[in-house]
Structure 1
Amino acid sequence: MDTISIKRLGFALGSTCGILYLGCVFVMLTVPPPAVVRFFNSIMHGWDVEPIMRWDMPWWEAIVGVLEIFILGWLVGAVIAVLYNVGGRSGRQADA
């Protein structure tokens, strides 16, 4: 079984999460508020997101949010790669 690069999977997942975050920011900046609430409510399958929506978020908080979500995504990707690699290593030892 091959191993997964921890850095590459972390970067891929972190980048994906960051792009999704930027997509949410774009939707909130360009779409009228009632449509945004309807859109996110449909994604959340019945949860009402209107009480937690912030329409007056400064630009610097959005940048901090992108960095935070990238770091969290990178960490999740790294953990997945480590667990995959550890599981693959123990499987090879059992086969030998």
Structure 2
Amino acid sequence: MNRFNVKKLGFAFGLTGAIIYLGCMIVMATAGKEGTISFFNSLLHGLDTTSIIRMDVPLSEAFLGLVQTFIIGWLIGACIGGLYNAQIKHRK
């Protein structure tokens, strides 16, 4: 069985999370508050996001969130890769 490259899998997860985060930023920047609420209400199966949507997010906070999302994604991917590799039986 093939093993995962833990660093590459972590990077792939982190980058995927960052891309999703950027997509969220684009929705918020282009759809306005009502459009954003409507988008996330439908995405979250009708959960009412009205009270948690905040449109006045400073750029520095958005950038920090992007970096944090990448780091968390990287850690998740690396953990999955490491745990997967640990379960593979080595053939000699």
Q: CA deviation at 1:32?
A: 2.3
Deviates most, 44-53 or 61-70: 44-53
For structure 1, list consecutive stretches of 5 or more residues without a partner in the other structure: none
Counting matched residue pairs gives: 92
Structure with the higher fraction of residues in helix conformation: 1
SS at match of 2:88: helix
| Matching of residue 31 in structure 1 with residue 52 in structure 2 | no
% identity of equivalent residues: 45
2:65 aligns to what? 65
For structure 2, list consecutive stretches of 5 or more residues without a partner in the other structure: none
Alignment RMSD (CA, Å):
1.3
The ranges of structure 1 where at least 4 consecutive aligned residues each deviate by more than 4 angstroms after the TM superposition are: none
Alignment map for 1:1-96 (pairs within 5 Å): 1-89=1-89, 92=90
Q: CA deviation at 1:54?
A: 0.8
Report the TM-score when normalising by structure 2: 0.94
Q: CA deviation at 1:46?
A: 2.1
Given residue 59 of structure 2, which amino acid in structure 1 is its aligned partner? W
Q: Distance in 2 between matches of 1:52 and 1:88?
A: 43
Higher Rg: 1
Given residue 6 of structure 2, which amino acid in structure 1 is its aligned partner? I
